[in-house]
Amino acid sequence: MSTVKLTVNGKAVSVDVEDRTLLVHLLRDHLNLTGTHVGCDTSQCGACVVHIDGRAVKSCTILAGQADGASVTTIEGLAKGDELHPMQAAFRDNHGLQCGYCTPGMIMSAVDIVQRHGGQLDEATVRHELEGNICRCTGYHNIVKAVLDAAGRMKVAQAAE
């Protein structure tokens, strides 16, 4: 057993876990943050994407101990109270989800994409960047629309800060 100390969604936590515990299981099973999904157990689908120190990471590919001392943001940490993050609002407004299983990981990846590209995105870039996230319900059209819409919303929100 090891004690893992990290900041999750802005709150300091300390959790005793077995050394082989994956970050996704620490989040889901120990912290009850079930928005981060386990979709494939092979790091193919992207349903488990979270941000570690501001970068998108598939949480099924990292041991909890590797995140010791890091800042982790999950889908539950994006909204500010009842106010959705611009990406969450864009997914809702553009019907960028169907069953919703991939949605948390898709949103977390999309936020990272927009931040890395400074909001300068086109459809081809979004489609290429989302290749690591699988949605079995949609043709990705509305997901791409949502990401492009959110890029503009995130620029406006950033300018207002």
CATH of residue 111's domain is 1.10.150.120
**Best CA proximity match to 26, nearest among 47, 43, 2, 10:** 2
Last residue of a domain, one of 55, 76, 97: 76
If asked whether residues 72 and 6 sit together in one domain, one would say yes
Q: Is the pLDDT of residue 139 over 90?
A: no
For the domain that residue 69 is a member of, what is the CATH number? 3.10.20.30
Indicate the pTM of the whole model: 0.94
The answer as to whether 16 is a domain residue is yes
**68 and 28 fall within a common domain:** yes
pLDDT at 160: 78
Same domain, 91 and 153: yes
On the question of pLDDT at 161 being above 80, the answer is: no
Q: Is residue 151 part of a domain?
A: yes
Domain assignment of residue 124, yes or no: yes
Looking at the structure of the chain, the number of domains it has is 2
- Quick check: is 81 in a domain? no
pLDDT tops 80 at residue 134 = yes
Q: Does pLDDT of 119 surpass 90?
A: no
As a three-state string, the secondary structure of the chain is: CEEEEEEECCEEEEEEECCCCEHHHHHHHHCCCCCCCCCCCCCCCCCCEEEECCEEEECCCCEHHHHCCCEEECHHHCCECCECCHHHHHHHHCCCCCCCCCHHHHHHHHHHHHHHHCCCCCHHHHHHHHHHCCCCCCCCHHHHHHHHHHHHHHHHHHHHC
Helix 141-160 with 103-117: angle, nearest 10 deg = 50
Q: Among 76, 103, 118, identify where a domain stops.
A: 76
Q: What is the mean pLDDT of residues 92-100?
A: 92
- Would you state the pLDDT for residue 57? 97
Query: Does residue 91 share a domain with residue 68?
Result: no
Is residue 38 assigned to a domain? yes
Residues 55-80 have pLDDT tens digits of: 999 999 999 999 999 999 999 999 99
Q: Are residues 68 and 101 in the same domain?
A: no
Question: What pLDDT was estimated at residue 42?
Answer: 84
Residues 19-66: tens digit of each pLDDT: 999 999 999 999 999 999 998 878 899 999 999 999 999 999 999 999
- pLDDT over 70 percentage in the chain: 99
Which residue in 125, 121, 84 sits closest to 104, CA to CA? 84
Instruction: Tell whether 13 and 46 lie within a shared domain.
Output: yes
Does position 155 have pLDDT exceeding 90, yes or no? Answer: no
Print the domain residue range for 10. 2-76
In a domain? residue 112: yes
Q: Which residues 6+ apart lie within 8 Å of 39 measured at CB? A: 45, 46, 47, 48, 101, 102, 105, 134
